[in-house]
Amino acid sequence: MKCTKCSQTAVFSRPDYCERHFTEYVEKKVLETVRKHGLVSGKDNVVVAASGGKDSVSCLYILSKHLKNVRALAIDEGIIGYRQHTLAYLKRFCKAHNIPLKIYSAKKELGVSLDNLVKQGQHGCTACGALRRHIMNMKAKELKATKLATGHNLDDEAQAVMMNLLRNNMAVSARLGPITGVKRLQGFVPRIKPLYFCTEKEIAAYAFLKGFEVPFAECPYASSSYRWSVLYGLNELEGKRPGTKKKIIESHLKMQPKLKEGNPGGPNTCKMCGEPCAGKMCKVCSIITSTKKIKLA
Ligand code: SF4
Ligand code: ZN
């Protein structure tokens, strides 16, 4: 199979490109997403939320290659046997590419580790997402970030759309998209997703071709998540009908203005910690409060 742009051997199919044209294609797609969706302006101070996995490392690499003063922050949720490996790689990567990196631990910031929360009955991915979003937002503000970039790709977003649909979580779905939090929730650093239109397969190939030696460690809690089931279902559909995930994203983007109208969301702040949240208490404070109650009982 030949590259459709030159006579070299293709390393990727659909689009059929050689190594050079494929990596250029991915970077161009990311930069077009940034431009077309207004993810970053000249005055923005961009911090990338990185984990050391292929998506966040690729996002960090592409943004720091094309934008000035990009920094990284990472959260150590406290998942023994997993997170230390990805963070060790992230440290090496940032050092090699001269990218300033700050790592914050959930234990130090909030006095909890994910492993302990799971032992006390919390669901791994639910608690993990809450801890991570919470610390990321707090620290992004401290770092004076005006945009917080994440490595979510098209597959992640298609899964999120389907999960919210299946759970009738339309208020959460209304907040999905390449940029969130533009109608400024007080105290919320807007999130941007530069890899929004890149598939998981494309980013995996890009990271491999760029020589990013991301660890293959798998989170011990991943297989028990609802996302895992949705991921399998969507991969099966995608295998039978290629383009399914992209169509889910396109349909979602068409519906999103209506979803936002119907779910305006209130700019509340948590009564315990002051972080932005939808209700009266943020998810992290309610998790910590409920685990304390379990201990006291
Ligand atoms: Fe956190 Fe779940 Fe991802 Fe593990 S799989 S890092 S628990 S969100
Ligand atoms: Zn709170």
pLDDT tens digits for range 186-242: 788 999 999 999 999 999 999 999 999 998 888 999 888 889 999 999 999 999 999
Q: What is the pLDDT of residue 259?
A: 87
> Is the Cβ atom of 124 under 6 angstroms away from ligand 1?
yes
Kindly state the average pLDDT of the residues 43-48.
Answer: 96
Structure tokens at 268: 């509340």
pLDDT category at 122 given cuts 50, 70, 90 is very high
Q: How far is the CA of 222 from the centre of ligand 1 (A)?
A: 6
Ligand approaching nearest to the C-alpha of 51? 1
pLDDT for the residue numbered 34: 97
Residue 290's pLDDT band (boundaries 50, 70, 90)? confident
Q: Hey, what long-range contacts does 176-183 have (CB within 8 A, 24 or more apart)?
A: 176/252, 176/256, 177/252, 177/253, 177/256, 178/33, 178/37, 178/39, 179/37, 179/38, 179/39
Mean pLDDT computed over 253-259: 91
Q: Is the pLDDT of residue 269 over 80?
A: yes
Could you give the count of Cα atoms lying within 13 Å of 41 in the half-sphere of its Cβ? 4
75 alpha carbon – ligand 2 mean position (Å): 17
182 pLDDT higher than 60? no
283 CA distance to ligand 2 middle (Å):
7
Peptide bond into 15 cis (omega under 30): yes
More confident residue, 183 or 155: 155
Per the DSSP assignment, residues forming a β-bridge with 268 are 277
Residue 96 has pLDDT above 60, yes or no: yes
Q: Tell whether ligand 1 has an atom less than 6 A from the beta carbon of residue 125.
A: yes
Task: Specify the pairing of strand 191-192 against strand 179-180.
Answer: antiparallel
Looking at per-residue confidence, does 145 or 175 come out higher?
145
Lowest mean pLDDT among 94-108, 155-169, 189-203, 256-270: 256-270
Please tell me the predicted confidence (pLDDT) of residue 186: 72
Which residue's CA is minimally distant from atom 7 of ligand 1? 125
In the three-class reduction of DSSP (H, G, I as helix; E, B as strand; rest coil), residue 101 is classed as: strand
CA distance 273 to 276: 9
Query: Helix 226-240 and helix 244-262: axis angle, to 10°?
Result: 130
Most confident of 36-40, 166-170, 288-292: 36-40
pTM to 2 decimal places:
0.93
pLDDT at residue 268 is higher than 60: yes
pLDDT at residue 183, rounded to an integer: 58
Which pLDDT belongs to residue 172? 86
Which residues, 6 or more positions from 74, have their beta carbon under 8 angstroms from its beta carbon? Answer: 49, 50, 51, 52, 87, 90, 101, 102, 103, 104
Q: Is pLDDT of 264 > 80? A: no
Q: 108, 147, 158, 131: which is closest to 51 by C-alpha? A: 131
Indicate if ligand 1 lies below 6 Å from the C-beta of 196: no
Nearest CA to ligand 1 atom 6: 219
Helix pair angle (244-262, 154-166), 10° resolution: 50
Average the pLDDT over 51-77 and give the result.
Answer: 96
- Rounded to the nearest angstrom, the distance between the alpha carbon of 88 and the centre of ligand 1 is 17
Res 296: pLDDT: 46
Q: 9, 1 in Cβ contact below 8 A?
A: yes
Pairing of strands 268-269, 276-277: antiparallel
Question: What is the pLDDT averaged over residues 146-173?
Answer: 94
In short, whether 284's Cβ falls inside 6 Å of ligand 1 is: no
Instruction: Give 179 Cα–ligand 1 centroid separation in angstroms.
Output: 22
The pLDDT value recorded for residue 297 is: 42
